[in-house]
Copies of this chain bind each other. A is one copy, B any other.
Amino acid sequence: MAFTVTILGNSSAKPTPNAHPSAQVVNLNEQYYLVDAGEGVQQQLIRRGINPLRLRAVFISHLHGDHCFGLFPLIATLGLEGKRTPLDIYAPAPMGEILEYHRRYFWDDLPYEVKWHEVRTTEHQIIMENSTLEVWSIPLRHRVPTAGYHFKEKQPGLNVEKYKIEKYGLSIAEIVTAKRGEDVVRDGEVIANEELTYIPYKARSYAYLSDTNYSARAAERVKGVDLLYHETTYSERDAMIAKGRGHSTTHEAAKVAAKAEAKRLIIGHFSSRYKELQQLCDECREIFPETYIASEGTTFSIEQTR
């Protein structure tokens, strides 16, 4: 079961000739979730071979243009493409009003429903759930109300060891019982569940934290995350600018990763002033060695481990 994050865009507010503003796609078992939607996101999806019709939901961190101006053209295109099922959009207020304005002026004949779900940016809570995934909101510290998103795979069900099936001659009914996590009881004999089953792999997780000042609390809330995206708008030498603008430095991003005991850190949302991104990555690695640049077009895969 795949769990990947593909970077569609990764630059901060000012556009450059080739880099696109913030947008990512999370793919969990071929269910696609869009995380932020900077200008050009629909074209970036197509370039990466992802049909926009496959998106299950969209998560917007905050209502700055470089994180959401691509959403409105995407919604229009999905209409042209004949979408019929609702599109769920998770975003802070007043996204509902903004969508309503767009509906009035640009898509009064949309053939599907755009469903806005308000994300309360001061709350750490489950905002979406299905059979394989929970998504939690993470309060962040930016100039406007902003939420990070924590994608937590649900713990996969128990498997029964094949050789134990043979050893005990388990029936179908007994296998089902074991998979439910219960002991198998037959004629007074009790076979302990732990004797029969194993967890196929540990539930995996991805957290997206952008845009934000350093937040120790956010780190606590994504404790043990497998893959952490943290914005790194500024080099450590520009820490004063970062603080004033509600952004983070390399060292701050790395400290959050360390505090969260993340397995890997990916960084992005770099200010256009930096031409040499490896330097920013190196600064992070001083504190958190497992740091990687979230380059546009890159797909990060979270592997299954037992």
Contact = CB atoms under 8 A, between A and B. Distances in A.
A66 to B, nearest CB: 8
Contacts of A107: 65
Contacts of A201: none
A73 B77 contact: no
Interface in A90-107: 94, 97-98, 101, 105-107
B69 A72 contact: yes
A17 B43 contact: yes
Interface string A45-71: 011000000000000000111100110
A81 interface: yes
Work out how many copies of this chain go into the complex.
2
A73 B65 contact: yes
A198 to B, nearest CB: 44
Contact of A14 (B18, B72, B80): B80
Nearest to A105: B98
A65 to B, nearest CB: 5
Given A16-B43, A40-B40, A65-B107, 19 more contacts: A13-B76, A13-B77, A14-B77, A15-B73, A17-B43, A20-B43, A39-B39, A39-B42, A39-B43, A39-B70, A40-B43, A63-B105, A65-B73, A69-B69, A69-B72, A69-B76, A97-B105, A98-B101, A101-B101
